[in-house]
Structure 1
Amino acid sequence: MSFLRALRRVHPLIRANFSNSRVTSRWISSTPDLHNPEAAAAAVPEPEFRPRTPVGGARIEIQNPDDSVEVFVDGYPVKLPKGMTVMQACELAGVDIPRFCYHSRLSIAGNCRMCLVEVEKSPKPVASCAMPVAPGMKIKTDTPIAKKAREGVMEFLLMNHPLDCPICDQGGECDLQDQSMVFGSDRGRFTEMKRSVVDKNLGPLVKTVMTRCIQCTRCVRFASEVAGVQDLGMLGRGSGEEIGTYVEKLMTSELSGNVIDICPVGALTSKPFAFKARNWELKGTESIDVTDAVGSNIRIDSRGPEVMRILPRLNEDINEEWISDKTRFCYDGLKRQRLNDPMIRDHDGKFKPVTWRDALAIVAEVAHGVNPDEIVGIAGQLSDAESMIALKDFLNRMGSNNVMCEGNGLNPQADIRSSFLLNSNIAGLENADLFLIVGSQPRVEAPLVNARIQKTVRATQAKVAYIGPPANFNYDHEHIGTGPQTLLDIAEGRHPFCSAILSAKKPAIIVGAGLFGRKDKDAIVAAVETISKLGGVTRPGWNGLNYLLLNAAQASALDLGLVSSPDVIRSAKFVYLMGADDANLDDLPKDAFVLYQGHHGDRGVYRANVIFPSSAFSEKEGTYENTEGCAQWTIPAVPTVGDSRDDWKIVRALSEVAGVRLPYDSLMAVRARLSRVAPNLLNVDARERSTISEELRPEFKQKLSMAPFGAAVENFYMTDSITRSSKIMAQCSSTLLKK
């Protein structure tokens, strides 16, 4: 390597060619005059062309040959649809074009000019991201002119960029670093004072060092096009141009943290992660988010026993490449207020640590001393499918059928899967041309689902109607009512919105799971299904009747049959809380024995008599089903804390001490049991649609209450035991939420 570095100093062209990773050794052996393009072109041999694999494996299917054009990339013929850009043609030919401002999910800006290529008969290099292809166009990406143009652009970008890479959190994963190594020069000609820009305060999540900004405007376009907020913009002109807020304010979007990922330099970085670690020190583990029911694909970066950060993972069907701020920044809650050892409450009301043997023996003795009908089990909103089936089997063997899950409300209906799933699928919402949102606020309940709706409204001008309490949406919508009366008027054809549903080609109704807790839930569902039937919301090839769940455990719990009514709490004498912190225990008898099994000292601990410490989602392998019915797995990223154990292992050990031993000793055996109860939970990354006909739906004769709908999520940043233990989420709650 030292010999090659010495060669780079011999001649500028050798330096430039060696810095390009796509050139061969034949290029290094030539030393033409860089300032004589004709001599340089003659000295460079013609490359050999062969079919290449498109970058990222992307392939374009052309439906109509008449709508396609053929272009030549470095002599290689490429067919692609009309209207596509030169950069996309190069990608299909397997040629990677450098870029800073271009992003596949954002509109084209064309302002960084790093993607310059040479096009035959064009007087100067063109920006490939903004130039549409034309029939017979001959594109050259490796000519000395294109290389010299990119080197000049890189020189201008580095002209005012500070030399602070050693202290920049983007170091090691910076696009500017990578591309300057390949396309940049080894020296600069700018000797004047570098400009500086005042940093902006965007809130407790995003750190700004605006002197590093190269004005690619990715963050501006993301804020307006994906997040749906007009918080960022371009101010000034020329050398005074900078990114900022028109009026000094914080960035209040639930997706604001994604600007950290799309920023190609170190101008926008994670404020909680600042100066904590370098990316090469971290171990990445692919897992699933459990803070809501979307099931976003994430990567957990850890160092030793500590989770250092959480990043998004690409999944086009669920979260694309975005995650919510709660998903990204709640990781510090995984190390605070953790339960380390089994504990029992003594006569003074204080907890003292004990061994697992003693704790299990005490619980087993109490469980055998109560009537089986007085035993109740409640699964928390972060419970995985394996732990819920173990809890259900254990209580069934103890003689009790009183097993439920938080958030599923009164008398949940689990026989028909389409009655509690997002039947259109998350990605399928983009096909809808009308939305009726009933009692749900997707912006705080499921930000990634809300982003799909916002994307559809922006692309197709789809109409959105909303029934519920006043809420802040980030797209145009019509607030047509606050309660069931509006729903009843639409069902009976008296509301003006009926004509909009009838004229829509693919209408979609989204019912919030917050309505499941109402006593007239069955009547609301009957009214919604009446609207669906009369408005053609459900038809062959399109099922637009959707239920948006709130918690990660709800769909799995309904598939597994955890459908007991919360009313059984009133007569319970033994309550098994498996991570259940939001269960209403006000009606619980004072002499009832409460076992709390969880990973955080949250609300459920205050009523507990015995505590079993369990593993968090980042420390165990578990199955979670998201709101559209897609089963996914979490993978352990860090070791367990203290003497905690996986939930299903604790239930299995308790069953043996209690004399009702469960018939599985491994995770595979538990999943074999899952396959007999709910086979769809083993079809990972697959969605099993419900095929039950409308005639089999039960008839509800419940009376509809006229009480207005309420908000299911009061505080977006604090919804479960992990987020409530997070210092970062507490800062967001106090800073970003309007009082």
Structure 2
Amino acid sequence: MLKLKVNDKDIEIEEGLTVLQACEQAGVEIPRFCYHEKLSIAGNCRMCLVEMEKSPKPIASCAMPAAEGMNIRTNTPQVEKARKGVMEFLLANHPLDCPVCDQGGECDLQDQSMYYGIDKSRFKENKRFVPEKYMGPLIKTQMTRCIHCTRCVRFATEVAGIPELGAIGRGEDMQITTYLEKAMESELSGNVIDLCPVGALTSKPYVFEARPWELKKTETIDVMDAVGSNIRVDTYGWEVKRVLPRINEEINEEWISDKTRYACDGLKSQRLDHPLKKINNEFKKISWKEAYETIAEKIKITSSDKIAGFIGDLTNMETMFVTKEFFEKTIKSKNLEARDDNTYINTEDRTNYLFNSKINGIEEADFILLIGVNPRLEATMLNARIRKNYVANKTEIFSIGDVGDQTYPYKKLSAETKIIKEIYENKSEISKKILDSKKPLVIIGNSALNLKSGKFIFENIKKFLVDNKKIRDEWNPLNILPVNASSVGSYDLNLVNNEENLTLKKLQENDFEIVFLIGQDNLKFKKKAEFIVYIGSHGDNGAEIADVILPGATYTEQDGFFTNLEGKLQKAYRASFPPGEAKEDYKILNELSELLKRKKLFQNKDDLIDNLLNYLDLNQKKIQSKIFSPVDYIDEKIIINPIDYYYSNVIARASKTMSECRSIKTDLKKTGTEG
């Protein structure tokens, strides 16, 4: 520990901290523009100047390592004069855009100029002008406002791993720009907007929409993937205007993916706001009463084994639990399934379908093996952690199959299941690397589990890790990466019919008479005589084939629990209300059950949540130890499923911004200029 003084106050700090960090530990706030906790130190804005004993001039506190016996002063006349001088230089060329700038109200330069700015300038020269740069459909530029803090450049290079931004020119002619004047290709590009301390980089879809103080802010959870990033949803009236990240060091740190940030305009497009019934191949508006009665009549004349239900990818835990109770108690059917493909999942032990090493645990791994997974597109924030580990530790990363650019180098292995066989039999170099590492990390993706050999891949990798004592209480290297926000929650609720997904097979063979689609829009089957009931929020694939549509709510329009890929239960809070006559999802099945059985499944939402949490507590404690039985080897190619990143769910498909991003990505592929 180091001992030093800050404003005559004795403090003790750990070695390796900077003077700025030491001052913050002493409770002193230091103004800054270029310094950021998650980025490398640039030391180029000079706003953080402080006075140090025996130093002839002020020092940049962000770049000076703290040392034993230092005596720092942050509030002397010399420090104040120095900061005012820096602010005067910054404002010399800054345009008077505050009334029309989207950063107004949450601008670091505005805030600091209140303390250190002056009401007139001593400079007589004309302010410089920098032409606007093109950075794609997400980022609006006004580079005349830029103060050259280089936060965006460092983020793109260090965190996003795609060095697309940099400085050209020198002195007054210096400009921050993309090198080739094209759209940023990173799935994390929107984070430069949060990092920019002025209004040089702002959100293009949000431009001139609202002021920060006009917005209602709701802290909630993202559902665009299984990571469960912590976000803040800002609404104007009841319209979602923007989505921003919340700091959670265990999950998403302070970043979010572009899909999380920008798909929110899909919340108001293609919405279902009235119950609909298909009559003569056309949808007609009907009342809720008529919709319920139509469905109830069909159920009464149909055998329970001919009724099936499929849960969608954005469904919250409450809706899934109500659906489970509705099928088990009201219509007494066992044909309820949460998967829309043949993914192999072993639900006998909860660790079989979780990301057991935890997201922040990725930083501790000393060897990483990817099996049938594309983390950059399947879980962008998780991929950023893998890159963070690589940048810090140069960790060896191997992938079974070529998954394209992941923003870090990795070694490609043959994309065949014989590699898994060799690892299991300890005949591969990968086996040795896993055994030699203290904290190996194995990530198995949906593409691998969806193969005929999915069971062989999972069970043999697990057996290898168990036999070699790599699965321990303090570290479990076996990790499953689901692609949907509802996946882990559905496994916790036992909404997996069996290993082979017979429910899906029967559906594809047209063996059911009534099919409930609970927000499910990704099923691939040819409809024949089935009576399909769709409960969902958007007019997408599921609604298109439905006979009766019951309009539901999105994740921003209802309170609901989601379990993320590492098994953490998080609550998403309502930020707005469903449009028109649409209802919260759980209410729909609760009311339908009341019509069929003259009794609601749950009296109210609190009753539902109590039952849900009790069920989860019992289910998570029940772990069966299964004796491993050999799985037949299947010689098969491990092909990574193509991912339509910007169109992965109904909200994204309804988003105009996501459509623009997708078309630009397609154009880049056609011209061969991608990545």
TM bin (shorter chain): over 0.9
In structure 2, the partner of 1:655 is 593
Deviations 1:298-325 (A, max 9, x none): 1000011210000001111110110000
Does residue 1:76 correspond to 2:6, yes or no? Answer: no
The 3 A distance-change label for structure 1 pair 127 and 143 is: same
Name the SS of the counterpart of 1:617 in structure 2. Answer: coil
User: In the alignment, is the contact (CA less than 8 A) between 2:559 and 2:573 conserved in 1?
Assistant: yes
User: In the alignment, is the contact (CA less than 8 A) between 2:220 and 2:573 conserved in 1?
Assistant: yes
The 3 A distance-change label for structure 1 pair 319 and 411 is: closer
Written as runs of structure 1 = structure 2, the 5 A alignment for 1:612-627 is 612-627=550-565
Does residue 1:373 correspond to 2:305, yes or no? Answer: yes
User: In the alignment, is the contact (CA less than 8 A) between 2:339 and 2:496 conserved in 1?
Assistant: no
CA RMSD in angstroms comes to 1.6
Does residue 1:707 correspond to 2:660, yes or no? Answer: no
Aligned-partner Cα distance in 1 for 2:556–2:46: 42
Does residue 1:635 correspond to 2:581, yes or no? Answer: no
Aligned-partner Cα distance in 1 for 2:299–2:631: 38
Gaps of 5+ in 1: 1-67, 682-687
Aligned-partner Cα distance in 2 for 1:580–1:669: 26
In structure 1, the partner of 2:647 is 718
Does residue 1:668 correspond to 2:567, yes or no? Answer: no
In structure 2, the partner of 1:386 is 318
Instruction: Between 222-231 and 478-487, report the one with greater CA deviation.
Output: 478-487
In structure 1, the partner of 2:539 is 601
Q: Once the 2 structures are TM-superposed, how far is the Cα of residue 697 of structure 1 from its aligned partner?
A: 5.1
Instruction: Between 402-411 and 87-96, report the one with greater CA deviation.
Output: 402-411
User: In the alignment, is the contact (CA less than 8 A) between 1:87 and 1:128 conserved in 2?
Assistant: yes
The 3 A distance-change label for structure 1 pair 148 and 401 is: same
Q: Once the 2 structures are TM-superposed, how far is the Cα of residue 122 of structure 1 from its aligned partner?
A: 0.3
Written as runs of structure 1 = structure 2, the 5 A alignment for 1:373-452 is 373-397=305-329, 398-407=331-340, 409-410=342-343, 412-452=345-385
Deviations 1:18-68 (A, max 9, x none): xxxxxxxxxxxxxxxxxxxxxxxxxxxxxxxxxxxxxxxxxxxxxxxxxx1
Deviations 1:443-467 (A, max 9, x none): 0000000000000000011110001
In structure 2, the partner of 1:295 is 228
Instruction: Between 236-245 and 409-418, report the one with greater CA deviation.
Output: 409-418
1:287 counterpart letter in structure 2: T
Q: Once the 2 structures are TM-superposed, how far is the Cα of residue 250 of structure 1 from its aligned partner?
A: 2.1
Name the SS of the counterpart of 2:12 in structure 1. Answer: strand
In structure 1, the partner of 2:661 is 732
Alignment partner for residue 111 of structure 1, among 32, 44, 47? 44
Aligned-partner Cα distance in 1 for 2:340–2:397: 26
Deviations 1:232-258 (A, max 9, x none): 112222112121123333210000000
In structure 2, the partner of 1:584 is 524
User: In the alignment, is the contact (CA less than 8 A) between 2:403 and 2:640 conserved in 1?
Assistant: no
Alignment partner for residue 432 of structure 2, among 482, 491, 499? 499
1:719 counterpart letter in structure 2: S
2:225 counterpart letter in structure 1: D
Alignment partner for residue 140 of structure 1, among 59, 73, 77? 73
2:665 counterpart letter in structure 1: L
Q: Once the 2 structures are TM-superposed, how far is the Cα of residue 691 of structure 1 from its aligned partner?
A: 9.0
Aligned-partner Cα distance in 2 for 1:478–1:633: 38
Does residue 1:229 correspond to 2:156, yes or no? Answer: no
Name the SS of the counterpart of 2:351 in structure 1. Answer: helix
Alignment partner for residue 127 of structure 1, among 60, 65, 75? 60
User: In the alignment, is the contact (CA less than 8 A) between 2:219 and 2:233 conserved in 1?
Assistant: yes
Gaps of 5+ in 2: 671-675
Aligned-partner Cα distance in 2 for 1:532–1:462: 20
Aligned-partner Cα distance in 2 for 1:514–1:306: 37
User: In the alignment, is the contact (CA less than 8 A) between 2:448 and 2:638 conserved in 1?
Assistant: no
Aligned-partner Cα distance in 1 for 2:396–2:622: 29
Name the SS of the counterpart of 1:717 in structure 2. Answer: helix
Name the SS of the counterpart of 1:677 in structure 2. Answer: helix
Aligned-partner Cα distance in 2 for 1:631–1:644: 26
Aligned-partner Cα distance in 1 for 2:139–2:652: 18
Name the SS of the counterpart of 2:662 in structure 1. Answer: helix
Q: Once the 2 structures are TM-superposed, how far is the Cα of residue 619 of structure 1 from its aligned partner?
A: 0.4
User: In the alignment, is the contact (CA less than 8 A) between 2:452 and 2:634 conserved in 1?
Assistant: no
Aligned-partner Cα distance in 2 for 1:657–1:161: 66
Alignment partner for residue 108 of structure 2, among 168, 175, 186? 175
User: In the alignment, is the contact (CA less than 8 A) between 2:424 and 2:461 conserved in 1?
Assistant: yes
Q: Once the 2 structures are TM-superposed, how far is the Cα of residue 100 of structure 1 from its aligned partner?
A: 0.2
Q: Once the 2 structures are TM-superposed, how far is the Cα of residue 534 of structure 1 from its aligned partner?
A: 5.2
Alignment partner for residue 542 of structure 1, among 475, 488, 493? 475
Higher CA-based Rg = 1
TM-score by length of 2: 0.95
Name the SS of the counterpart of 1:542 in structure 2. Answer: coil
Aligned-partner Cα distance in 2 for 1:413–1:502: 25
In structure 2, the partner of 1:20 is none
Alignment partner for residue 575 of structure 1, among 515, 520, 534? 515
Q: Once the 2 structures are TM-superposed, how far is the Cα of residue 83 of structure 1 from its aligned partner?
A: 2.0
Q: Once the 2 structures are TM-superposed, how far is the Cα of residue 471 of structure 1 from its aligned partner?
A: 1.7
User: In the alignment, is the contact (CA less than 8 A) between 1:384 and 1:553 conserved in 2?
Assistant: yes
Aligned-partner Cα distance in 1 for 2:360–2:480: 15
The 3 A distance-change label for structure 1 pair 288 and 697 is: farther
Q: Once the 2 structures are TM-superposed, how far is the Cα of residue 189 of structure 1 from its aligned partner?
A: 0.7
The 3 A distance-change label for structure 1 pair 438 and 410 is: closer
1:251 counterpart letter in structure 2: M
Instruction: Between 282-291 and 533-542, report the one with greater CA deviation.
Output: 533-542
User: In the alignment, is the contact (CA less than 8 A) between 1:595 and 1:610 conserved in 2?
Assistant: yes
Aligned-partner Cα distance in 2 for 1:309–1:673: 34
Q: Once the 2 structures are TM-superposed, how far is the Cα of residue 525 of structure 1 from its aligned partner?
A: 0.8
1:69 counterpart letter in structure 2: L
Aligned-partner Cα distance in 1 for 2:662–2:468: 40
Q: Once the 2 structures are TM-superposed, how far is the Cα of residue 468 of structure 1 from its aligned partner?
A: 2.6
In structure 1, the partner of 2:673 is none
Q: Once the 2 structures are TM-superposed, how far is the Cα of residue 594 of structure 1 from its aligned partner?
A: 0.5
Q: How many residues align?
A: 660
Aligned-partner Cα distance in 2 for 1:455–1:470: 19
Aligned-partner Cα distance in 2 for 1:411–1:428: 25
Deviations 1:543-592 (A, max 9, x none): 11100111010111011010122223231111000000002223x5x111
Q: Once the 2 structures are TM-superposed, how far is the Cα of residue 386 of structure 1 from its aligned partner?
A: 0.7
Written as runs of structure 1 = structure 2, the 5 A alignment for 1:51-62 is none
In structure 2, the partner of 1:207 is 140
In structure 2, the partner of 1:35 is none
Written as runs of structure 1 = structure 2, the 5 A alignment for 1:457-476 is 457-476=390-409
Q: Once the 2 structures are TM-superposed, how far is the Cα of residue 484 of structure 1 from its aligned partner?
A: 1.5
User: In the alignment, is the contact (CA less than 8 A) between 1:407 and 1:551 conserved in 2?
Assistant: no
Written as runs of structure 1 = structure 2, the 5 A alignment for 1:232-271 is 232-271=165-204
Aligned-partner Cα distance in 1 for 2:212–2:515: 45
Instruction: Between 194-203 and 307-316, report the one with greater CA deviation.
Output: 194-203
Written as runs of structure 1 = structure 2, the 5 A alignment for 1:274-285 is 274-285=207-218
Q: Once the 2 structures are TM-superposed, how far is the Cα of residue 411 of structure 1 from its aligned partner?
A: 5.9
Give % identity. 45
Aligned-partner Cα distance in 2 for 1:553–1:705: 31
Alignment partner for residue 696 of structure 1, among 600, 623, 626? 626
Aligned-partner Cα distance in 1 for 2:348–2:150: 50
Name the SS of the counterpart of 1:302 in structure 2. Answer: strand
User: In the alignment, is the contact (CA less than 8 A) between 1:502 and 1:536 conserved in 2?
Assistant: no
2:444 counterpart letter in structure 1: V
Aligned-partner Cα distance in 2 for 1:707–1:82: 51
User: In the alignment, is the contact (CA less than 8 A) between 2:345 and 2:352 conserved in 1?
Assistant: no
Name the SS of the counterpart of 2:347 in structure 1. Answer: coil
Q: Once the 2 structures are TM-superposed, how far is the Cα of residue 188 of structure 1 from its aligned partner?
A: 1.3
